[in-house]
Amino acid sequence: MPLFGKTRRSGQQKETTPQPLFEEVTSQEFSLKLSYSAKSSEGVRLKAGPAMVARLASMLDGYVKGLSELVEPVPPEMVSATPFIARMPGSAQWLQYHHKRSPVTRHALVVLESVDAVDMAFETLACGLLDGETDTLGYPDYNAIVGGVASHWDEITGDMIVRAVVGWGGKGARGDTDRNAAHLLAGLFNNIRADTNAVGTVPAERPVAAAGPGGAVCAHCGFDSGHERVFYCLKCGMRLQRG
Ligand SMILES: [Zn+2]
């Protein structure tokens, strides 16, 4: 005897008059608009010297409110990590990796990575709160400006390339934020240029790793630069070994 598919005998079916279908129903609207923005300066070329990475934090002097934090490039297995929670498992990996950082730093990474203003696969970021306030949990308001300086190593010369980068955004915008961000960007850029090792500026474009293997893989950090004609690792700055 079948358990399912029992049918009623037609004699038991109730006669119903069809209800008219609603073309429109009364509704309540809900939405969330998030908007992130960032600005980057040109790069400044710095001759390599001792403790170069440690000097990045000092380039925020006069502009950072409170502490700054240094975020080094992520390990190779982290390159697909993303701050977007809609993209599991990359977001779980991202949170786990960055969970010990300050709320300001995590916010800065979300803003700057969202709009592609930094590439943590090979860049080092010294960042902090530059303008505005934080809430009681330490997270910046939507009109706060975060950022600092981002650096990578020039693949050909081994120089350090440093640029100023600022970002803001969230649930809303304020009219003067863009202008304040431009002012902060200029101040940070001047700090970078004032470094004793600074030798000139370079266009803002960042190196793009070529698709697929076949480039020069760094023996120190495992980063694949993706090009053949490189001499230094753009992630860690070590001279590449040639086989
Ligand atoms: Zn390396």
Residues 217 and 230: beta-carbon distance below 8 Å: no
CA of 238 to the centre of ligand 1 (A): 6
Residues 192 and 43: beta-carbon distance below 8 Å: no
In this structure, the dihedral spanned by the alpha carbons of residues 120, 125, 131 and 134, taken in order and rounded to 10 degrees, is 70
Residues 196 and 46: beta-carbon distance below 8 Å: no
CA of 184 to the centre of ligand 1 (A): 31
Point out which residues pair with 36 in neighbouring strands. 169
Determine the average pLDDT of the residues in 146-162: 96
- Please write down the HEC assignment for all residues of 55-72: HCHHHHCCCCEEEEEEEC
CA of 12 to the centre of ligand 1 (A): 78
In a domain, 229, yes or no: no
The runs of H, that is alpha helices, within the chain are 52-55, 90-98, 103-114, 177-193
Which of 138, 100, 106 shows the shortest CA–CA distance to 125?
106
Domain limits for position 74: 35-202
Q: Which single residue is written with the structure tokens 């090979």?
A: 122
Share of the chain above pLDDT 90, in %: 69
In a domain, 2, yes or no: no
In a domain, 23, yes or no: no
Distance of CA 89 to the CA centre of its chain: 17
What are the pLDDT digits (tens) for 60-90? 999 999 999 999 999 988 988 999 888 888 9
Average pLDDT, the chain: 89
Q: Would you list the DSSP string of 108-145?
A: HHHHHHHTTS--TTT-EEEEEEEES-B-TTSPBPTT-E
pLDDT exceeds 90 at position 171: no
pLDDT exceeds 90 at position 123: yes
CA of 170 to the centre of ligand 1 (A): 34
Q: How far apart are alpha carbons 237 and 216 in whole angstroms? A: 13
In a domain, 197, yes or no: yes
CA of 222 to the centre of ligand 1 (A): 6
Residues 236 and 218: beta-carbon distance below 8 Å: yes
Band of pLDDT at residue 205, cut at 50, 70 and 90: confident
Band of pLDDT at residue 211, cut at 50, 70 and 90: low
CA of 134 to the centre of ligand 1 (A): 36
CA of 159 to the centre of ligand 1 (A): 14
In a domain, 177, yes or no: yes
pLDDT of residue 8: 53
CA of 180 to the centre of ligand 1 (A): 36
Q: How far apart are alpha carbons 121 and 88 in whole angstroms? A: 19
In a domain, 25, yes or no: no
Determine the average pLDDT of the residues in 193-214: 79
pLDDT exceeds 70 at position 191: yes
SS3 200: strand
* Integer CA distances (angstroms), 164 to 5, 179, 184, 211, in order: 69, 15, 9, 27
Determine the average pLDDT of the residues in 194-221: 80
pLDDT exceeds 70 at position 213: no
What's the pTM? 0.85
7 or 36, which is more confident: 36
pLDDT of residue 56: 97
CA of 29 to the centre of ligand 1 (A): 51
Q: How far apart are alpha carbons 146 and 192 in whole angstroms? A: 17
Number of domains in the chain: 1
CA of 219 to the centre of ligand 1 (A): 7
What are the pLDDT digits (tens) for 4-25? 655 555 555 567 788 889 999 9
pLDDT of residue 224: 85
CA of 172 to the centre of ligand 1 (A): 39
In a domain, 70, yes or no: yes
CA of 153 to the centre of ligand 1 (A): 10
Which of 198, 223, 192 shows the shortest CA–CA distance to 47?
198
